[in-house]
A and B are shown apart, each in its own frame.
Chain A
Amino acid sequence: MIGLNSVGVLVPSLVGFAFILPLLGKLIKNVKFFHIYAALASLWAAILATYNAYLVFTAGTQVYPFGGWPPPLGIAYELDKLNALLGMVTALVMLAITIYSAWYLKDYEGVAYYYTLLLGLEVGLIGCLYTGDAFNLFVMLEVLSISAYALVGFYRSKPEAVEAAIKYGMFGAVATTLYFVGLVFIYATFGTLNMADLAFKLTFYVYYPVPNPFSGTFFGNPYVASAVALALALWAFTYKSAAFPNHFWLPDAHPEAPTPVSAALSGLVVNVGVYAIVRFLYTIFGPSAFVVQLRDAVLIALLVLGIASGLIGALMMVVQEDIKRLLAYSTISHIGLVLVGVAIGTSSTLNQNSLAYVLGLAGGIYHMVNHTLGKALLFLVSGILIALAGGSRKLDDIGGVGRRYPLVSLALFLGVFQLLGVPPFGGFFSKLLIYSAYMEAGMPYVSLMVILISAISLLGYVKLIYASVFKVGSPKVEQTTKVSLPTAIVLALGIACLVTGLATTYITSMMFDVVGSFATPQGVYDYWQSFFNTLLNLASGVMR
């Protein structure tokens, strides 16, 4: 039984690490303590998350019912291969970011608050991924968001940072509130909040309409409810993932945060938005749900939004003068690509060409992971470069710092190749998967768009590499700054990037496996089956 407990224990146990930290921050003056404390907490999370992923990949979908309540009554964490994998990646990258923070914040006050918020961010991230309950997702999104707002505004005397934080926070609060309103509609009509239960009810709605007290009214109409809920929820999730019309906050917010946090925001937080979209469109309102036309329309809209944000991000990258802002626009571009990948599952594709369906989704998920590694790496490298260049974020001032630190430059190259999609790296294979999916599905113009986006973003990356490595400038290199710890971390991340590419046959088949676990009818059925088994297991023997 200990094995199953690790699924449930991970997120709640991290909460305790965070709860006690502000008091410790008031009592303990030694900064080193906090670095070690936070690293240990992160390590604990990483170990558990890895173990959970191992558990899921060997033993199938895991359900942990909190309080021992059968799922629709209580909350359950439901891990299939998708969220187990993403959870593992998240925890590992967060570990790297936490250790990096120890270098980054070595002489800064407010370290305890910083780590509390960072732990809050980690709790929110993993909680969002693990949860099997739509309302719990709302709560976890808020945990995630509020720590993100606070971290963006962490440099409180920097006007741009505070302004970015309030812009992000104000509209983020609206987005999550609207998601809550969407949930109200869902509950009013379908009478449940558990994702697996919802998936079941939506699939079989045609045969077994769920009776609800408002049947025949505006609130009880399943089509109205689905449309409203899907629209509001997707608006919230595209806000969180910064897809095109809602991308306006990202280029302000991500660069203004402390650099490790920028890495976490750009690499991990946007993933949660995409993950939630995928969960809503493939598990809850899955391919077999009764709202087929609605779902198709939403997916096509997502495809358009994905292409738009891909293009806009790539174009805006080229004109940036600020290294972190450049990377932030690159995030928008890549999220666009991921959305293009996951938007493939319209009913026509599914019916006519299931290969394209699997390829596109696998490519999207694969690219999500690749982007996480590459983007976290690049942001962390940019932190080193900025520190070496005396604190300026301008590409001109950085001019050629990388030349004196070959290991840092190496990491930079690895990250850029990963994002750009140079052949032995993971980014290449994931883009290839998305490309071939749309070729297969008979939409070659989308494939061309993928190539176009990559081509445009090439300019931006070349600019980045040129400015930081090849340009012959006169940077004020601060020789006193010791960079061995962060260099080790970025190199480790770089090796991870390389591994995602070199082991591509293995990883691709794993991705197909992942897609099979959440997006196919069989996968949805398994998801529901494990929920139902848990229910039966817990409810049997009640009336003894």
Chain B
Amino acid sequence: MRLGRYLQAFSLVALAVLLAVALTYKGLGDLPNPAVRDLALWYLYTTLNPEVPNMTVMSPEAVTAIVWDYRGLDTLFETMVFFLAIVGALAIMRGITLNEGGEGLHIERYGLSLITKTATKLLVPLIIGVSASIALHGHLTPGGGFQGGSAAAVAPLLVLVIFSTYYVVFKLRLSELSMISLRTLGLMGIYMTSFATLILGLVIGVNAYIFQNMPKANAFIGLPPALGGSLISGTLFFFNLFEFFAVAAGFTLVFILLSIPEVKAREVLKGEEHGH
């Protein structure tokens, strides 16, 4: 039975080999090719090019530049999808919380062993430091708000799994409300940043666009590309910073919701009325 399964898996690999041989032998041309598409060349030429000051992002990181500047709208709505997913989860879990009942618990008795707990204590600040570095250097090196934020979410996740959800909620006071507040802070930051240049333009009476970062040929304003000689790439720094908060808080919220004991959910759901 088990052996048969492995045989099936390997025959799949053999199938892939055959497929590849067939495709190759038909002489389908050079794959992959050392050339690249025209649109990609545009991105690569303009992502950091001081010689075309009104058509550049001033960030050496082309991917972050596309994500938050060229196609910033996509990312705003991607953030919104994540936000809506969490709101949907909150709507399903509405009323099911772990707000009281922490007094009689021996919180120390839950969780994994002493060694694991001690290591986690040491690990948490290190993880946050490293992930903040990933997020804040998002416009210079690979990484960015989402990458940093999801790496930072390891810290609360580890605390939650290793110490127990009671520890997180009653000792560390990471409640639903505080996470929603932090998340709203991040989201509103993203929102404000995306409108920053437009509002600036309206105030001083110059043409400007939503999601505008650097000056453009027909819209001459933009945020500063560098501060004190260090690149911050205008809006990219702020986007990464706020996204970091939003994502880290979002994941923490999800795991706090997921780790609520099932007993609580059943208490709330029992005999609940529903609409039509």
B92 cross-chain contacts in A, Cβ below 8 A:
150, 153, 156
Is the Cβ of A75 less than 8 Å from the Cβ of B73? yes
- What is the CB-to-nearest-CB distance from B146 to chain A, in angstroms, rounded to a whole number? 14
Instruction: Give the docked Cα–Cα distance between A73 and B211 (Å).
Output: 13
Q: Is the CB of B210 within 8 A of A8?
A: yes
Interface pair A135/B212, CB less than 8 Å apart: no
- Contact of A16 with B52 in the complex, beta carbons under 8 Å: no
Is the CB of B37 closer than 8 A to any CB of chain A? yes
Within 8 A of B (CB), among A136-192: 136, 139-140, 142-143, 146-147, 149-150, 153-158, 161, 191-192
B72 CB-CB contact with A under 8 Å = yes
Docked-complex contact A67 and B81, CB < 8 angstroms: no
For residue A533, CB closer than 8 A to chain B, the reply is: no
Q: Inside 8 A of B30's CB, which chain A residues have their CB?
A: 216-217
Per-position binary interface string of chain A over residues 296-324, scored 1 when its CB falls under 8 Å from any chain B CB and 0 otherwise:
00000000000000000000000000000
**Could you tell me the distance between the alpha carbons of A538 and B30 in the complex, rounded to whole angstroms?**
36
Which of B23, B94, B218 makes the CB contact (< 8 A) with A110? Answer: B94
Interface extent on B, as a size class?
35 or more
Once the chains bind, are A213 and B36 in contact (CB under 8 Å)? Answer: yes
Q: Mark contacts of B32-65 with chain A using CB atoms, 8 A cut-off: 1 yes-contact digit, 0 otherwise.
A: 1111111110110010000010110000000000
Segment among B6-14, B100-108, B129-137, B190-198 that sits at the interface with chain A: B190-198
The yes or no answer to B200 lying at the interface (CB within 8 A) is no
**Contact residues, B168-215 vs A (CB, 8 A):** 176-177, 180-181, 184, 187-188, 191, 194-195, 198, 207-213
Q: Distance in Å from the Cβ of B43 to the closest Cβ of chain A? A: 7
- The stretch from A115-123, A246-254, A464-472, A475-483 touching chain B is A115-123
In the complex, whether A108 has a CB less than 8 A from a CB of chain B is yes
* Interface check A3, CB cutoff 8 A: no
In the bound complex, CA of A158 to CA of B78 (Å): 30
Which listed segment binds A: B115-123, B147-155, B157-165, B267-275?
A: B267-275
CB <8 Å contact, B73 and A136: yes
Q: Which of A19-27, A41-49, A263-271 contacts B (4 or more CB under 8 A)?
A: A19-27
A540 and B218 alpha carbons, distance in the complex (Å): 9
Q: A191 contacts B39, CB within 8 Å?
A: yes
Nearest Cβ on chain A to B51's Cβ, whole angstroms: 9
Q: A157-B272, A215-B29, A542-B55 are in contact. Are A20 and B209 (CB under 8 A)?
A: no
| Residue interface bits A4-34, CB-to-B below 8 A is 1, else 0 | 0100110011011011101100100000000
Asked if A67 and B29 sit within 8 Å, CB to CB, the answer is no
CB distance from B214 to the nearest CB of A (A): 9
A1 at the interface (CB under 8 A from B): yes
Shortest B28–chain A CB gap in Å is 4
Stretch at the interface among B82-90, B223-231, B254-262: B82-90
Q: A272 contacts the other chain (Cβ, under 8 Å)?
A: no
- Whether A66 sits at the interface, judged by CB under 8 Å, is yes
From known contacts A67-B212, A155-B274, A218-B23, infer whether A150 and B91 are also in contact, taking CB-CB under 8 Å. yes
A218 contacts across to B, CB distance below 8 A: 23, 28
Give CA–CA (A33, B216) in the complex, Å: 41
Rounded to whole angstroms, the CA-CA distance of A396 and B85 in the bound complex is 38
Give CA–CA (A64, B74) in the complex, Å.
Answer: 15
Question: Is B128 in the interface zone, CB < 8 Å from A?
Answer: no
From 95 to 126 in chain A, residues with beta carbon under 8 angstroms from any chain B beta carbon are 108-110, 113-114, 116-117, 120, 123
Residue A442 at the B interface, CB < 8 A? no
- Please tell me which one of the listed residues A64, A117, A139, A541 contacts residue B217 in the complex, with CB atoms under 8 A apart: A541
Which 8 pairs show the lowest CB-CB distances between chains A and B?
A150-B88, A216-B29, A68-B216, A213-B33, A541-B217, A113-B91, A191-B37, A67-B211
13 A-B contact pairs sorted by A residue (CB < 8 Å)? A8-B210, A16-B191, A20-B184, A66-B210, A73-B46, A73-B70, A113-B90, A117-B91, A157-B273, A157-B274, A191-B39, A214-B32, A539-B217
A contact residues vs B (CB 8 Å cutoff): 1, 5, 8-9, 12-13, 15-16, 18-20, 22-23, 26, 64-69, 72-75, 108-110, 113-114, 116-117, 120, 123, 127, 135-136, 139-140, 142-143, 146-147, 149-150, 153-158, 161, 191-192, 211-220, 258-259, 386-387, 391-393, 537-544
Extra contacts besides A18-B83, A191-B40 (6): CB < 8 Å: A8-B210, A15-B76, A123-B80, A161-B274, A213-B37, A387-B276
Which residues does B use to contact A, with CB under 8 Å?
Answer: 23, 28-40, 42-43, 46, 52, 54-55, 69-74, 76-78, 80-81, 83-85, 87-88, 90-92, 94-95, 176-177, 180-181, 184, 187-188, 191, 194-195, 198, 207-213, 216-219, 269, 272-276
